[in-house]
Structure 1
Amino acid sequence: MKQTFKPLLMASVASLGTLLALAAPQAFAQTAPPAASADEVTDVVVTARRRAETLKDVPIAVSTFSSAKLDQTGAQDITALQQQAPNMTLQVARGSNSTLIAFIRGVGQQDPLWGFEPGVGLYVDDVYVARPQGAVLDIYDVQRVEVLRGPQGTLYGRNTIGGAIKYVTKPLDMTSPTFMARGSLGSYNQRDLVLTGSIPLTDQFAVGAAIAKYNRDGFGKNLFTGAEHYNKDVTAVRLSAEYNPTDKLSLRLAYDRTQDDSNARHGHRETPALNSVGGPLYTGTQTVWNTPPADPYDTYAGLGDKNKVETDGVSLTAEYKVSDTLTFKSISAVRSGETATKIDFDNTPGGFMDVPAKYEDTQATQELQFTYGGERWSWVAGLFYLNSTASGAFDTTILGNLATTLTQGKVRTNSIAAFADFNYKLTDKWSLSFGGRYTKDNKRGTVYRANYAGAPSPVFGGTGAVTLLRSNYSNDKSFDKFTPRVSLSYAFSPALTGYAAISEGFKSGGFDMRGDVILTPSTVNGYNPETVLSKEIGLKGTTFDGLMNFTFAVFDSKYDDMQITRQTPVGATVASQVENAGKASIRGAEFEGTLRFSDKLTGNFALGYTGADFDEFISYNVLTASYVNLAGVYKFQMTPEWTNNFGLTYKTDAFGGSLVVSPQASYRSDMQMFEAANAALDQKAYWLYDMGVTWTAPGAKYKVGLYGRNLGDERYRTGGYNFPSSVSPLFGNSVSAFYGAPRTVTLTLEYRY
């Protein structure tokens, strides 16, 4: 039944798109675009192609979420977009509170270790954020968020092989002062405060600030230390200044800082703790530590609860209108981050797999853009430069703190790129877009790995001596690639556009910072880049006399030289591998939009299907010292086949103001945490139900909001670690999982001036 249902639904969706396209000349020839609405395809302006365009005219699969839409659903951070955008996984990384993992259409990176780069690019006001630590952005002071699906290598370049997420903050008001204060109280003693404001000092110069403080008790508890587990303690600040001395020149200086002092997140043990002969790891009065806690948010971890993540950055954006048709833009930025955390893999008081870790990173980027908008020609071209360093260290402590392996290193990256994208109106209906990007990366990796007696290692305050040097090397590699994109668009009517596109994405190679020369000697040579070639056809616009706005896309991708990260227990240590394992085919479809049932009631929907299969998966087995093709056994990680969202928005006058009620339901089908299936970790299909109710006073000065998230109180896994006794008996049978938030209710009061 399941195998029959998928092709039928795919065929139905494809048929709908075909019928709409065929009917377009008749159905839309006399239909003007409907009245403007905050989330309509015909009216929404996006910058997906680095220039302002209506969503309908962009030959890219884009989902856009306005601040109003995000507010209606009670979204607190960008991971909430996973429930609204099709074919996307966007979650807090395992063992973390604020590290982001992202997959779009099956392409991404789950491992946030320094040196490994994400497959989905994150941009804040056109500034590329290279590292995932501290990248779970809270939603405040935001104008909109755009999700671009499929390779974006032409205009965005670095690590957008799966897609890109653009977080766009609100511009400053240059005419009058603004002020907003929002306070929230909710479940688990939630206490949030957000303040934003701006002041125009002259008619050309304005300054603004935003500060957000988020506090919440834990969803669970560390049953060994008594500390809160899954709590939140985050402070975020944004400062900005805008100066427009002439009609042609504008300058924006921005600073942001985020500090996350939430307790370390250790996860939940999913299997009993076992010793090296398969018996209980703990005996006597301590036997309770062998059993997984009844509450999935609880832990017995003994490594410690202290955790700290700090990120900050400064950017300067200058825009100059050279003429009525030509604009020059410069985006200069520096960012840095520092993380000190603890991950207790065994989730027991003993040191059977404890990992204290620290990361540091810095980046400097410079981008120059020239944008031209003529009657028939429009284009954007430019240069990009990145200089970054990512470094870190961690201990892997085993055998009840009797031994540890220190892993330490850094990777330096220098990247330059030149890009251009041209759009030409062949006729009033046909448009051709073509462009490309040339990228050259130079990387230097340094890796040190050694066994020490006792724990911790000297880097974390210990005094033990080296018992075995496992790795101590440096190496340099260069990678370069030209990634083109071509699309052809046809305007069936003023309200409907179809397109076909071919694009290529590229993610640079590098060095495995866990590389173990003893177990995998070839690790010193690093790993190669990966590429995705994607073909896509789409349709977007308005139908049914303006009652439905939609976007529809079908895609087929070829994924080559996939970078697969793996950690395999071998005796008393762990062998790390980053393999260019082989090839894969990815195909799917997306259908999303809004329906207007009446002036008061609208609906929104998003349906996504991703079918991903390995065509080849050549992997080195460190236990047998042989290569094996796992293509018929392994599946894509973090990629459910189906992702669906359905919602309603009801607006009416009530109690002298405006009342908005927004129920939402989202669905995700079965998902594997890793390429190999694991019944103890893999997540079964589930639904999440949310509800937002807001009341706004006349003049919009006061707003009251009541939000319920995960109203069904679903327990669902978002990540995990897998070190079972069947592979190595020395890690205490450490299989742990991390869970999404339980049911929460939040009351928000807001004042605007």
Structure 2
Amino acid sequence: MIIGASATAFSRRLLLGLLCSSAASAVLAGEPVPSAPTDPSAQADANLVGQVFVTARRREESAQSVPIALTVTSAETLTQTGVNSIVALTQLVPTLQVLSPNARNTALTIRGLGASYGLANDGLEQGVGIYVDQVYVSRPGAATLDFVDIQQIEVLRGSQGTLFGKNTTAGALNITTRDATNTFEADAEASVGSLNFRQVKATAAGPIVADKLAARLSVVGTWRDGDLYNPISKLHQNARDSVGVRGQLKYAPTDRLTIKVAADYSAQHPECCTQVYVTVGQTLKPAAQQYAALAAGRNYTVASTNPYDRLSDVDDDIQADQFAGGGSVIVDYDFGPVTLTSVTAHRNWDWEPRNDRDYTALDVTRRSANPSHQKQDSQEFRLSSNGDNTINWTAGLYWFDQNVTTRGVTEYGNDASYWLLPGANSPDSLLAGYTVFNNSSIDTTSYAAFGQLTWKVNDRLSLTPGLRYTKEKKDGVYDQTTTGGSTTTDTTLINRRLGIARPQNFSAKTDDGSLSGQVAAVYAFNDNFNVYGTYSRGFKSGGINMTALPLNSASQPSLSAAVIRPEKVSTIDLGVKTQWFDRLLTANLAVFATDVDDFQANVVDSGPGALRGYLANVEKVEVRGAELDATTRSIGGFKLYGNLAYTDGKYASFKNGPCPLERIGTSTAACDLSGKALPGLSKWAGSGGAEYRAKTSLGRLTGEAYAGVDASFRSAYFADSSDSIYTRIKAYEIVNLRAGFQSDAGWEAFVSVRNAFDAKYIQNITVVSGNSGLVVGTPGDARAVAFTLRASY
């Protein structure tokens, strides 16, 4: 571990003392009180004390009765722990992992599954579905946006294809925002901290027409200086600059009908995202073609060989502008025996980047940008039974349509020939100004029909079967053109330049139909002790490579590589959900086994012609593991929580995989990675925390004083699909502290210290193009202090 020995020992003792067992507990530093039951009178029912309610099965239920491994995080916990996005949520939910060198190349995984590591490809879907107020959010870049007025977040582990459907083979994030209310309420929050951190949040809600029409409006803004310094541009880089707004109208003309109209918009304008020197890997190339000799040949010295000096020396502008927005209309009509729900939504996402892809002050890749524009429309109809019946069921229809268009450009500089074609004695002019334009467009249309029921066989046993049939079509077009570079008739030089990038274009289609589903059983030994077992089959649609393809012997795109087969996932979950001592303690355990056929990943083909990295299928992936969680309500003023996950994932069969950096020679060849660890997956991960609250007074002020600690850790993992020893991110621990005062008058003030022991860790790692051996990465956030003031009315 990489913080002081005493801090490491403290974190381990804290976690071991807290962790009992759980897979469906609330990760709450505060009292576990999420969304209230539908019936207001039920609030007073003593049977609900200590219960957490979720909508993981598209109806409100106690988390303890649901046969799904899940974790729930409340809005209060998000605020207290300083978690403002899904990226930061990983510190509270150890089975969730997010690698995000920038918004477009964000990859989410649950239990190690869900995303292909490497540059984003518009033709491939994620395997972790993000849902906000029942609406599927297709682009993973949304994970980097600030939360706006969140009520709670449910992280559902394992395949959720029956009810959530659209590409949830690894799991789903079910995010719920707060509803408009018929009573006036307002909240305001402001924070200031290290690196000129500033954040403001404000919410107002109330009636427009008494008992008929209510509204809610929320805004958030976050700004922070960059934590990297560039001595060339004299700028601080990797800054934060984002704003978001969300509004809702809730119309309830009768007790039976509710209509919610919501809209949101978020924008980011950060000086971001670049990476710094981490290490140099030893390849099999001749010494003259490796990083040390190449850098010396151009008199280049990196700004610092210590990534924690946080010095970047890229010599081109960088930006990571992101814009996301949309609207939805949700209609619920209660017919008595059943409720009909309609969810209509439109969303769009715009990505406007600029990168220096060589990550150095050399003029290798002087311009690299892939602006991407996405729009999606969806419609869902659900019919659900009402009441506490022997058989409760939900059935529905779903439609989704999406278009993603990318207009990319890469321009090479004066050092490109020297750096990317080492040892060939190519003139600098060969690639200087050589520009590659890549244009792509892909349309996706998806239809689905689904149904699930829960049969209460008796007072103890419940069975839940469910099925979903999905039909999905994709139609993609890719076109790459080149221009610039020196004029030459030398065939050898021309072929060298074409080896970097050459013109090509192709079109491809997929048309998949699949049946997915689950069968689950829950047996209640008593009101506080349940066991369950679930078998699920998930499906992630086939994809189209929206990137340059490897070439065949005729120097034409190999169209057989254009289409990627669907990914098929089978998971068995077994779990125990328990509550003890009048529900003061919730402790749950889950064990699971997942097998994936045709896992979608970045690979390298070894066929004839110029070789390219692209997306294809891994024959078999296996993941096995166990997850334990525990949380308490207040015990003498103390509240505790803990989570621990053991996950062992591997490529069971990956014969045509990408070669790790240390095995790359003068030519690129495929490598057999069978038996190697699944990338992005820590074998051990956990989090734990404690908070103490006590009634106190400060002069005339009365309220509660509190102090809390949150700790998380991850064991080492590989940050790229090749499992290179040079891309292994070391184990690390992070400890956060907080203390504050909550007044009875409705205001609160607290101080938080994130990464209190200033742990040194790397968030993500990239092998720089050209395979010189240079490896860059993003250092994790250093220790940061913030002061927050909140007020509620």
Q: Same fold (TM over 0.5)?
A: yes
Partner of 2:546: 513
Partner of 2:38: none
- In 2: Cα distance, 1:345 partner to 1:245 partner: 56
- 2:674 pairs, out of 631, 635, 641, with 631
Relative to structure 1, is the Cα distance of residues 527 and 672 closer, same or farther in structure 2, using a 3 angstrom cutoff? same
Relative to structure 1, is the Cα distance of residues 233 and 218 closer, same or farther in structure 2, using a 3 angstrom cutoff? same
- 1:500 pairs, out of 533, 545, 556, with 533
Instruction: Choose 402-411 or 663-672, whichever is displaced more.
Output: 402-411
- In 1: Cα distance, 2:608 partner to 2:434 partner: 13
Relative to structure 1, is the Cα distance of residues 164 and 577 closer, same or farther in structure 2, using a 3 angstrom cutoff? same
- In 1: Cα distance, 2:86 partner to 2:381 partner: 28
- SS across alignment from 2:516: strand
- 2:112 pairs, out of 106, 114, 117, with 106
Deviation at 1:426, TM superposition (A): 0.1
Relative to structure 1, is the Cα distance of residues 225 and 567 closer, same or farther in structure 2, using a 3 angstrom cutoff? farther
Asked if residue 252 in structure 1 is aligned to residue 260 in structure 2, the reply is yes
- In 2: Cα distance, 1:405 partner to 1:702 partner: 56
Relative to structure 1, is the Cα distance of residues 407 and 80 closer, same or farther in structure 2, using a 3 angstrom cutoff? same
What does the per-residue CA deviation read over 1:341-392, in whole Å, with 9 as the maximum and x for residues that have no partner? 1232321233323522211100001111111134211111101111001121
- SS across alignment from 2:160: coil
Alignment of 1:80-99 (within 5 A): 80-91=88-99, 93-94=100-101, 96=102
Deviation at 1:523, TM superposition (A): 4.9
Deviation at 1:544, TM superposition (A): 4.2
Asked if residue 428 in structure 1 is aligned to residue 433 in structure 2, the reply is no
Partner of 1:741: 781
Alignment of 1:403-442 (within 5 A): 403-442=434-473
Relative to structure 1, is the Cα distance of residues 571 and 530 closer, same or farther in structure 2, using a 3 angstrom cutoff? closer
What is the identity, as a one-letter code, of the residue corresponding to 1:665? Answer: A
Partner of 1:262: 270
Alignment of 1:218-367 (within 5 A): 218-271=226-279, 276=289, 279-281=292-294, 287-289=300-302, 292=305, 295=308, 297-323=310-336, 325-353=337-365, 354-367=367-380
- In 1: Cα distance, 2:270 partner to 2:678 partner: 31
- In 1: Cα distance, 2:79 partner to 2:340 partner: 34
- In 2: Cα distance, 1:193 partner to 1:312 partner: 20
- SS across alignment from 1:68: helix
- In 2: Cα distance, 1:123 partner to 1:546 partner: 30
- In 1: Cα distance, 2:376 partner to 2:266 partner: 16
Contact 1:695 1:703 (8 Å CA) reproduced: yes
- SS across alignment from 1:561: strand
What does the per-residue CA deviation read over 1:698-718, in whole Å, with 9 as the maximum and x for residues that have no partner? 14x211121111112122222
Report % sequence identity: 27
Partner of 2:123: 115
Contact 2:658 2:721 (8 Å CA) reproduced: no
Partner of 1:384: 398
What does the per-residue CA deviation read over 1:400-444, in whole Å, with 9 as the maximum and x for residues that have no partner? 444343332121100000111100100000001001110011000
Partner of 1:7: none
Deviation at 1:227, TM superposition (A): 2.0
Instruction: Choose 40-49 or 309-318, whichever is displaced more.
Output: 40-49
Alignment of 1:65-76 (within 5 A): 65-76=73-84
Asked if residue 645 in structure 1 is aligned to residue 645 in structure 2, the reply is no
Partner of 1:459: none
Asked if residue 453 in structure 1 is aligned to residue 459 in structure 2, the reply is no
What does the per-residue CA deviation read over 1:695-736, in whole Å, with 9 as the maximum and x for residues that have no partner? 11114x2111211111121222222221376xx45xxx4421
- In 2: Cα distance, 1:612 partner to 1:692 partner: 35
Partner of 2:34: none
Asked if residue 46 in structure 1 is aligned to residue 54 in structure 2, the reply is yes
Contact 1:665 1:689 (8 Å CA) reproduced: yes
Asked if residue 658 in structure 1 is aligned to residue 671 in structure 2, the reply is no
Aligned residues: 704
What does the per-residue CA deviation read over 1:165-191, in whole Å, with 9 as the maximum and x for residues that have no partner? 0111011111x2221111110000011
Alignment RMSD: 3.1
What does the per-residue CA deviation read over 1:653-697, in whole Å, with 9 as the maximum and x for residues that have no partner? 123211222201111011111233334331111111011223111
Deviation at 1:277, TM superposition (A): 6.3
Instruction: Choose 291-300 or 733-742, whichever is displaced more.
Output: 291-300
- SS across alignment from 2:301: helix
Partner of 2:474: 443
Contact 2:755 2:783 (8 Å CA) reproduced: yes
- In 1: Cα distance, 2:762 partner to 2:560 partner: 32
Partner of 1:147: 155
Asked if residue 707 in structure 1 is aligned to residue 720 in structure 2, the reply is no
What is the identity, as a one-letter code, of the residue corresponding to 1:428? Answer: D
- SS across alignment from 1:288: coil
Contact 2:468 2:515 (8 Å CA) reproduced: yes
Contact 1:585 1:612 (8 Å CA) reproduced: yes
Deviation at 1:55, TM superposition (A): 0.5
Relative to structure 1, is the Cα distance of residues 631 and 607 closer, same or farther in structure 2, using a 3 angstrom cutoff? same
Contact 1:41 1:549 (8 Å CA) reproduced: no
- In 2: Cα distance, 1:83 partner to 1:409 partner: 36
What is the identity, as a one-letter code, of the residue corresponding to 1:474? Answer: S
Asked if residue 695 in structure 1 is aligned to residue 738 in structure 2, the reply is no
What does the per-residue CA deviation read over 1:136-186, in whole Å, with 9 as the maximum and x for residues that have no partner? 232331110110000001111111110000111011111x22211111100
- SS across alignment from 2:78: helix
What is the identity, as a one-letter code, of the residue corresponding to 2:160? Answer: Q
What is the identity, as a one-letter code, of the residue corresponding to 1:688? Answer: I
- In 2: Cα distance, 1:193 partner to 1:267 partner: 28
- In 1: Cα distance, 2:322 partner to 2:381 partner: 31
What is the identity, as a one-letter code, of the residue corresponding to 1:183? Answer: A
Normalised to the residue count of structure 2, the TM-score between the two structures is 0.83
Relative to structure 1, is the Cα distance of residues 210 and 545 closer, same or farther in structure 2, using a 3 angstrom cutoff? closer
- SS across alignment from 1:715: coil
What is the identity, as a one-letter code, of the residue corresponding to 2:674? Answer: A
Partner of 2:655: 618
Asked if residue 395 in structure 1 is aligned to residue 439 in structure 2, the reply is no
What does the per-residue CA deviation read over 1:585-606, in whole Å, with 9 as the maximum and x for residues that have no partner? 2111111021357230121010
Partner of 1:171: 179
Deviation at 1:542, TM superposition (A): 0.3
Asked if residue 216 in structure 1 is aligned to residue 258 in structure 2, the reply is no
- In 2: Cα distance, 1:442 partner to 1:87 partner: 31
What is the identity, as a one-letter code, of the residue corresponding to 1:593? Answer: A
- In 2: Cα distance, 1:588 partner to 1:284 partner: 49
- In 1: Cα distance, 2:667 partner to 2:299 partner: 37
Asked if residue 194 in structure 1 is aligned to residue 208 in structure 2, the reply is no
Relative to structure 1, is the Cα distance of residues 676 and 100 closer, same or farther in structure 2, using a 3 angstrom cutoff? closer
What is the identity, as a one-letter code, of the residue corresponding to 1:310? Answer: F
What is the identity, as a one-letter code, of the residue corresponding to 2:673? Answer: L
- Unaligned 5+ segments in structure 2 are 1-15, 23-42, 282-286, 417-431, 487-496, 660-665
What is the identity, as a one-letter code, of the residue corresponding to 1:740? Answer: G
Deviation at 1:517, TM superposition (A): 4.3
- Unaligned 5+ segments in structure 1 are 1-11, 19-34, 456-465
- In 2: Cα distance, 1:607 partner to 1:278 partner: 40
Instruction: Choose 636-645 or 96-105, whichever is displaced more.
Output: 96-105
What is the identity, as a one-letter code, of the residue corresponding to 1:184? Answer: S
Partner of 1:491: 524
Normalised to the residue count of structure 1, the TM-score between the two structures is 0.88
